[in-house]
Structure formats: structure tokens, C-alpha cells
Amino acid sequence: MSDEENERAALAEKLRHYGRDELKDGSLLRTLKDVTGGATWRDCLLRLADMADPVCSNVGGGEWPFRCSACGGHTTEFDHMFPPPEAKAEAERMLRDALDLADDCRIVSAHSSEPRYCPWCGARVVEVDE
């Protein structure tokens, strides 16, 4: 088990413990602080959200088309999984020709040049507003 998986399991066990027994000192906030290690209710909720749905962003560039902001994993180890833009454009051209589509007809692809989840840590890849 990875450190993150161990941390999730420990947090889940604490939640189950309090779910079966009583709240710490009868307070939901004290219980959440104890379970998550958060200092405020906001910290507690954000920590729970991060455990339930870990996210990262693509901080790649240059030699790494994708680099995970959470774990640092990058695509140079399996670049063949992410076709270069010119290959995607050629595939779309061939599909357009095969289906006899007009040039202004947009082809929507389910494939992306970036993964939806980091292949190393499993975090969901999100776009960061700058």
C-alpha cells in the first residue's frame, strides 16, 4: 500500500470509529479535527475532499507533455500513449475523408493528449485557473 492509501485507510477507520461510537466531546467539529488533523472546519472539509477526490494539474512543458503536480510523474516513460498533435490532425483528416464530412464539420474526440487521471498517483487531472 502507498502512503496515500495508508492515510486514506486510517482516516476511514477513524470516521467509522466515530460513526459507531460517540462524537469527540460531543462536538462534530472536534471530531472532524481529530480525524483529519485540520485546524479549522474549512481545513477539515478540504482534507476530506482531497482524500475522497485527489486532484492534480498538468505542470508539464518542454520535454514532458504531461507532468503531475501532485506526484511528479511524467509522460516520457510512455509517450507512445499520447499521440503528437500532427498524428491526431492526420487521423481526423482521414476520418473526415472516409465519412465524406464537410471541412467545417467539427469532429469531437474522446481521446485527449493529456490523461484524465494521473497514471502514477491516480489523482484526477484538472485545469488550473491562472
- Does 111 fall in a domain? no
Which three three-digit cell numbers place residue 58?
498538468
Asked, for residue 100, whether it belongs to a domain, the answer is no
Does residue 31 form part of some domain? yes
Q: pTM higher than 0.75, yes or no?
A: no
**What does the pLDDT read at residue 40?**
92
Which residues of the chain fall short of a pLDDT of 70?
1, 76-85, 87-88, 103-114, 129-130
Contact call for residues 81 and 73 (beta carbons, < 8 A): no
**Helix H segments across 21-83?**
28-36, 41-52
Q: What are 88-96's contacts with CB under 8 Å, separation 24+?
A: 88/113
Question: 86 in a domain, yes or no?
Answer: no
- In the predicted model, what is the mean pLDDT of the chain? 79
When divided into structural domains, the chain yields a total of 1
Domain that holds residue 10: 3-52
pLDDT reported for residue 4? 76
Q: Give the model's pLDDT for residue 110.
A: 53
Residue 102 lies in a domain: no
Does the residue 40 lie in any domain? yes
